């Protein structure tokens, strides 16, 4: 197993290109199941999760073709073509490592009239049931059966009827599944208390480009007028607001000045707001965001929340930054109940953090010290890299398969701005 070595103390300076958004890409790819025509996605990040989802799509008879991009380039252009579906089952071996696999359920039952998907896996950051996925699809006319670790959905009469569903709590994945399914349903569907994340806007914009009719894009009430068929399209994946926020924290903790080329300041507004309160200078324009930190960092109170609130996917990275801030910070994690698994690892590096349920109290320290640490989930692993960039000595981060799920060639991008970081084989 590889590990990453980070030798702290370098001030980051320069430009980092921001990749296409992982969380958007994993929602856009299954849209290929909704049409017989080719779907070409540009700016797809080179990530383990994207490769895994591409492999899952071939399970259904979807052909894929990679265009143009050289291996040393960031991002890829891939065309997915589901002219004829040859299967409707997503097996356990392909689904167990990637929670996003559940997103094939809605489009598959909408197109083929049935779908069988293994219960998904992913990061162990808390209880993430799929009951809202299933209930929303039932509201659209699907019959759901759970048996032997699989979910089977069947459209009554061979095609979803459409319907109304009010989410009892905001759910990004369930909203995505329902929107895709409703786009090919017979009638008009209304989704209330829908998630509003930029990745859902990106999904809706792609579906519209494919011929879907959706009202209320970007709001909590979506009205989808089902179509008989959808066409293919060529579409560029939005920039990754979480990757951009992560590198912003990396720049800030080193007192650096880094340009996040291609980042969308509007999509990451809550992160930039938090950074500014911490004392970081953030300047956004149409082509990217510039981060600079040459003054003291300040402790703050932060709470995660559904969009437009602070993304739970930024909590660990901001916590790493706050370990070096003056005074105390209080973080509230409201989305997942088990998302402080990185805390013991940060404490190994000298951080002063106390957790009480979903609350973390971070008291800033003068310095961190490099240590051997273990990644516990995707965003937690990035928090350890961020801490390592400021720590004295060498930090070794193990279990890199978490990082590789969500950060495209992380060490190369950090090397571009002067970080002393490398990936090596584990002895």
Which amino acids are annotated catalytic?
123
| Residues in contact with 357: Cβ distance below 8 Å, sequence separation at least 6, in sequence order | none
Q: Does 131 carry a binding-site annotation?
A: yes
Alpha-carbon span 347 to 393, nearest angstrom: 16
- Residue 130 annotated as binding site: yes
Which residues are CB-contacts of 321 (< 8 A; sequence separation ≥ 6)?
249, 252, 253, 278, 297, 386
Three-state SS at 318: helix
| Owner of token pair 């040859």 | 86
335 annotated to bind ligand: yes
Q: Which residues of 112-131 are buried (b: 16+ CB within 10 A; e: fewer)?
A: bbbbbbbbbebbebeebebe
Answer yes or no: is 99 a known binding residue. Answer: yes
Establish whether 352 is an annotated binding residue. no
**Is there a binding annotation on residue 313?**
yes
73 in a labelled binding site: no
Task: Check the annotation: does 132 bind a ligand.
Answer: yes
Instruction: Establish whether 267 is an annotated binding residue.
Output: no
What distance, in Å, lies between the first and last C-alpha atoms of the chain? 8
How many C-beta atoms surround the C-beta of residue 68 within 10 A? 8
Contact (Cβ atoms closer than 8 angstroms) between residue 389 and residue 12: yes
Q: How many CB atoms are closer than 10 A to CB 186?
A: 17
Annotated binding residues for phosphoenolpyruvate, written as ranges, equal 22-23
Annotated binding residues for UDP-N-acetyl-alpha-D-glucosamine, written as ranges, equal 99, 128-132, 313, 335
Annotated binding residues, written as ranges, equal 22-23, 99, 128-132, 313, 335
């Amino acid at each position: 197993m590889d590990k990453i070595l980070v030798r702290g103390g370098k001030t980051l300076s320069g430009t980092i290109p921001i990749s296409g958004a992982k969380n958007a890409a994993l929602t856009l790819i299954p849209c290929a199941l909704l049409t017989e025509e080719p779907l070409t996605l540009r700016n797809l990040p080179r990530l383990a999760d994207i490769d895994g989802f591409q492999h899952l799509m071939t399970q259904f008879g979807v052909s894929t073709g990679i265009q143009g991009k050289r291996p040393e380039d960031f991002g890829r252009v891939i065309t997915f073509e589901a002219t004829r579906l040859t299967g409707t089952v997503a097996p356990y071996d392909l689904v167990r490592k990637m929670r996003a696999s559940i997103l094939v359920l809605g489009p598959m039952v909408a197109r083929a009239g049935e779908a069988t998907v293994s219960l998904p896996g992913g990061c162990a950051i808390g209880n993430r049931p799929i009951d809202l996925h299933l209930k929303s699809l039932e509201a659209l006319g699907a019959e759901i059966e759970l048996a032997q670790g699989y979910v089977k959905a069947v459209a009554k009469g061979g095609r979803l009827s459409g319907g109304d569903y009010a989410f009892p709590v905001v759910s990004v994945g369930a909203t995505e599944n329902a929107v895709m399914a409703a786009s090919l349903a017979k009638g008009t569907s209304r989704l209330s208390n829908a998630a509003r994340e930029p990745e859902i806007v990106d999904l809706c914009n792609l579906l519209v480009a494919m011929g879907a009719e959706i009202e209320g894009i970007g709001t909590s009430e979506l009205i989808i007028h089902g179509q008989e068929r959808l066409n293919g399209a060529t579409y560029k994946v939005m920039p990754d607001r979480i990757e951009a926020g992560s590198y912003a924290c990396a720049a800030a903790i080193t007192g650096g000045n880094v340009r996040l080329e291609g980042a969308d300041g509007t999509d990451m507004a809550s992160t930039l707001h938090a950074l500014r309160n911490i004392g970081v200078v953030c300047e956004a324009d149409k082509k990217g965001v510039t981060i600079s930190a040459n003054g003291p960092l300040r402790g703050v109170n932060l709470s995660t929340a559904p969009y437009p609130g602070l993304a739970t996917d930024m909590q660990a990275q901001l916590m790493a930054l706050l370990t070096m801030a003056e005074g105390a910070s209080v973080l509230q994690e409201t989305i997942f109940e088990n998302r402080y698994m990185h805390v013991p690892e940060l404490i190994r590096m000298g951080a002063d953090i106390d957790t009480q349920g979903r609350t973390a109290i971070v008291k800033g320290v003068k310095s961190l010290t490099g240590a051997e640490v273990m990644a516990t989930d995707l965003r937690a692993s990035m928090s350890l890299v961020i801490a390592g960039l400021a720590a004295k000595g060498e930090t070794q981060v193990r279990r890199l398969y978490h990082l590789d799920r969500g950060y495209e060639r992380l060490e190369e991008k950090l090397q571009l701005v002067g970080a002393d970081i490398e990936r090596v084989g584990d002895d």
